[in-house]
Amino acid sequence: MQRRAFLSASLSPIALAACGGSSDDPPPGPAPAPPPAPATPQAKAADAMKRAVSYLDEVVSYRGGYVWSYSPDLTQTFGEMEAKRTMCWIQPPGTPSMGHIFLDAYHATGDERFYQAAERTALAVVAAQHASGGWNYIYDFAGEESLKHWYETIGRNGWRLEEFQNYYGNATFDDAGTAVASQFMLRMWMEKKDPRFEAPVNKAIDFIRNAQFGPEYGIASGGWPQRFPHYAGSKASMPQPNIDQMPTGARYGMEDGDYTLHVTFNDDVMGENIKFLTLCVMTLGRTDLIDTITRAMECMRSLQNPGAQAGWSLQHLSRETNGRPAGSPAGARTYEPRSLATHTTQTNIQQLFNYFTLTGDRKFLARIPEAIAWLKSVPLPADAVQKNPLLGGGRTHPTFIELDTNEPLYVHRYGSNINNGAYFFDKDITNTISHYSAGRALNIASLEKRYAELNGMSDTDVAAMVARSPLKVTQPTALPKYFGIREVDFPDLFVGAKMTTPTVPETEVNQLIDELGTKNYWTSAVPEIVNPFRGPGPVTPYTGTAYRSKHVGDVYDTSPYPADNPPEIAPYVKRDKPQFIVTSDVIRRLGRLIAYVAPVV
């Protein structure tokens, strides 16, 4: 009967007569409305984004905060180390990074659901802001005692993660945590002028200004330490290693004392701070920050090593230390020897290019040829990969170069955990540590090309370039539309610049939607897993070699490691990486959908 009724409702009067209907039957009703037209590909992509972000906000996050990865059932949560469920990670790709991509989704669609997710995440970042105005790597919503407990257990026993082995109770510039959080606060304040975000922005600005070394530091003036405010109880030196387990002549330990006091270039601390302050000049009209920016630029230029070794270290002394003058290259963590660092030198050259474009001052280019010439003089030996497969993958230069001798330094370790092991460095290219690469891939040709372009500019061209500088704006300027698809950099901030998005094919979008499915979350192979905390590791000397070139030591080591490349010793077993909700991959996938829905071309 239902089938007959369906047929009858869909046939013409002539057809009805043929089926036994008569002319006395009432005329048929109006034809049913056609089914809704299929949603446009852009609408499907926006719906997928909304479902994913809603799930992240409502199910995955803790009070709007995020770590780095989650088992799908949320029973395991990792940041750079194992995390408590009540924690949020500030280090990218943690909470501020997720907030950025949510705000990007709002810009792409105008859908308030995305803004609500960004707002909730922003309030988590506000809660995590240190009283000084910066941010630590992590925050625990369960309170200070819960955070201290984490440091005393999981953090303390992460052999290779020395920044987590002590609770400082302050904020850090390391790993761009404070920089990315500050940028996110600025975006949230500029979006709707919600007063809840104005004070955090101002506190972040004050933090950066207060932490900067002042003129009384001489050559170090304008630099920033790794952490602020300084904590007097920080670890100034590591326990003496077992000399019997070290090669003759090897060096070890934190050679220059408390590394949190040094001028820090590691992870581009200076560049990140200057970029945030530049954003504040553009958007808030804070021209008073230009002096802070200028002193930092000058500090980078001033700390370039004199003479033929014209590079930079990860960190430089901010004050005279053990007879060595302020400005001298300094050691940091126990696997970061006093030396010059090739990758840091490349980064600083690139930043000096930026500082020239911002200011037009040719002094920022003056010693770049010396730095490039030095880098060209210290390549990896031709047989590096044959002697040490860890130096493959396109690496061109040793990471560390010894002062004066210009010879590479390579980092090693012995033992099985933090209690019986130690790091040391010498000139043996074999058996290096794996978690901190002994070699770097530098693009010398690109540096030379960029230098030639900038150095060859006429004074007229330089003046025209500087006239578009974000440091020269006379009226508040809008921020770039998106921050999560790729890193916003100095060239994106010039007047008239357009930060375009990548082209995303529809086939990729359909695949992303299919992978999201009805579960509303994506999974991917988690980069690293961890040993659960089971107490302090043994102090008994370990003389084997199973852990020397692995990310993790024995089962007491809480350092993360890849599941498919564990130590080759029981009870470790090689296995596939498990599928987790991984924030870095979530950000990438959302970014691809955003670029498809609302591209900037």
pLDDT tens for 37-92 read 558 999 999 999 999 999 999 999 999 999 999 999 999 999 999 999 999 999 99
* Helix, strand and coil in the chain, % to nearest 5: 40, 10, 50
Helix (H) or strand (E) holding 173: none
pLDDT of the residue at 177: 97
Which of 16-30, 186-200, 245-259, 495-509 comes out lowest in average pLDDT? 16-30
pLDDT at 555: 98
Where is pLDDT greater, at 513 or 240? Answer: 513
250 contacts: CB under 8 Å, gap ≥ 6: 412, 424, 425, 426
pLDDT number for residue 24: 41
Mean pLDDT of 524-537: 97
Which residues, in sequence order, are CB contacts of 216 under 8 Å at separation 6+? none
Q: Report the distance separating Cα 460 and Cα 400, nearest Å.
A: 40
pLDDT of 9 strictly over 60:
no
The residue type of 93 is P
407 pLDDT exceeds 70? yes
pLDDT number for residue 31: 66
Question: Which strand ranges, in their side-by-side order, compose the sheet holding 315-316?
Answer: 263-264, 315-316, 329-330
Percentage, residues of the chain above pLDDT 70: 93
- pLDDT tens-digit series, residues 483-516: 999 999 999 999 999 999 999 999 999 999 999 9
% of the chain with per-residue pLDDT over 90: 91
The pLDDT of residue 444 is above 90: yes
On whether the CB atoms of residues 326 and 220 are closer than 8 A, the answer is: yes
CA-based nearest residue to 549, from 164, 234, 160: 160
Confidence check: pLDDT of 251 > 50: yes
Structure confidence at residue 233 as a pLDDT band (50, 70, 90): confident
Contact between 53 and 61 (Cβ < 8 Å): no
Residue 237 has what pLDDT?
A: 56
How much is the average pLDDT of 6-12?
28
Residue in the block written with tokens 């609770």:
167
**Binning pLDDT at 50, 70 and 90, where does residue 236 land?**
low
pLDDT, tens digit (0-9, with 9 covering 90-100), for 369-386: 999 999 999 999 999 999
pLDDT given for residue 6 in this prediction? 26
Asked if 68 and 156 touch (Cβ cutoff 8 Å), the reply is no
Per-residue pLDDT, 239:
65
Contacts of 184 (CB under 8 A, 6+ apart): 96, 99, 100, 103, 122, 125, 483
Q: What is the mean pLDDT of residues 112-141?
A: 98
Give per-residue pLDDT as tens, 92-105. Answer: 999 999 999 999 99
Question: In the predicted model, what is the mean pLDDT of the chain?
Answer: 93
Please name every residue paired with 439 in a beta bridge, in sequence order, or none if there are none: 398
Task: Let me know if 463 is exposed, middle or buried by CB neighbors in 10 A (0-12, 13-18, 19+).
Answer: exposed
Per residue in 531-540, pLDDT (tens digit) is 999 999 999 9
pLDDT over 70 at 11, yes or no: no
Read off the pLDDT of each residue in 223-248 and give the average, rounded to a whole number.
Answer: 85
Residue 199 has pLDDT above 50, yes or no: yes
Residue 185 has pLDDT above 90, yes or no: yes
Q: How far apart are CA 359 and CA 281, in angstroms?
A: 14
- pLDDT tens, residue by residue, 268-298: 999 999 999 999 999 999 999 999 999 999 9
How many angstroms separate the CA atoms of 517 and 498, rounded? 34
Q: What local confidence, expressed as pLDDT, does residue 21 receive?
A: 37
- The residue-averaged pLDDT of 233-238 equals 65
The predicted pLDDT at position 240 comes to 76
- Indicate if the alpha-carbon torsion angle 577, 583, 587, 593 is positive or negative: positive
Cβ proximity of 295 and 221 under 8 Å: yes
pLDDT of residue 497: 96
**pLDDT at position 431 over 80:** yes
Longest dimension (CA), the chain: 113
Indicate the helix (H) or strand (E) that contains 582: strand 579-582
Q: What is the mean pLDDT of residues 199-223?
A: 98
